[in-house]
Chain A
């Protein structure tokens, strides 16, 4: 397997503030990282795909100015939720692929629970 970490595991913030979530691949170089959002008892919704050193590709309906993604190194990607509102409260999960992993294998982080009050 492979290990992907996320930080923080949970965060509570006030409406209007910004929150940054980190995703790290600990034992492999992740050329591609994915960001997902999951509502309770629902499936994972892909938000964006980021390749190291490139701009992220956002899925239709995802506001790129609101969900800023940076993938500056082969082991770190960040998701910043800007001017957060209560409707942004959700479980955010990243995954990573590339490096020594088999083609198209991706491993997930443990997720970050965001609550906006």
Chain B
């Protein structure tokens, strides 16, 4: 399968700080999705991006579809303890309807 690399791998931040993470691929994707996964649960969709350059917000979350179509970024503003979890990006390629997931970014928010 295709490899999507996320960075950073893990983050430890103070409550109230802003968070930035990104996802890069060697291949072009037509759609990017961002998910959050809590321990022992399935991933929950946060934001979907469908066009290169698109910037989309969902509350305190903002995600961007990179112009090259090989990357995407997720920002979380004013973090709170419930933001804790693992964030995954997922990309949809040109063939078929399979999504490929990134390696994940683990976020810990310190109250």
Interface residues of A (CB under 8 A from B): 1, 4, 6, 32, 34, 36, 41-46, 49, 57, 59-60, 91, 93, 95, 97, 102, 104-111, 113
Given A43-B88, A49-B96, A113-B40, A1 contacting B101 (CB threshold 8 A): no
Of the candidates B40, B50, B88, B97, which one forms a contact with A32 in the assembled complex, judged by CB atoms under 8 Å apart?
B97
Known A-B contacts A59-B1, A104-B92, A105-B48; A46 and B43 likewise in contact (beta carbons under 8 Å) = no
Could you tell me if A43 and B101 are in contact, using CB atoms closer than 8 angstroms?
Answer: yes
Q: Interface of B with A (CB < 8 Å)?
A: 1, 31, 33, 35, 40-45, 48, 50, 88, 92, 96-104, 106
Q: Are A46 and B98 interface neighbours, CB within 8 A? A: yes
Decide: A104 and B97 in contact? CB cutoff 8 A.
yes
Q: Shortest beta-carbon distance, A49 to chain B, in Å? A: 6
Q: How far is the CB of B73 from chain A (nearest CB, A)?
A: 18
A42 to B97, CA, bound (A): 22
Q: Nearest B residue to A2 by beta-carbon distance?
A: B45
Interface of chain A: mostly helix, strand, loop or mixed:
strand
- In the complex, the number of residue pairs spanning A and B with C-beta atoms less than 8 Å apart equals 62
Inter-chain contacts of B103 with A (CB < 8 A):
43
Knowing A49-B97, A59-B1, say if A111 contacts B40 (CB, 8 Å): yes
Contact of B43 among A42, A93, A113 (CB under 8 A): A93
26 residue pairs of the A-B complex, CB under 8 angstroms, read A6-B42, A32-B97, A36-B101, A41-B106, A43-B88, A43-B101, A43-B102, A43-B104, A44-B101, A46-B98, A46-B99, A46-B100, A49-B96, A49-B97, A97-B97, A104-B50, A104-B92, A105-B33, A106-B33, A106-B45, A106-B99, A107-B45, A108-B42, A108-B44, A110-B42, A111-B41
Tell me, in angstroms, the Cα distance from A54 to B92 when the chains sit together. Answer: 21
Cα distance A6–B35 when bound, in Å?
A: 18
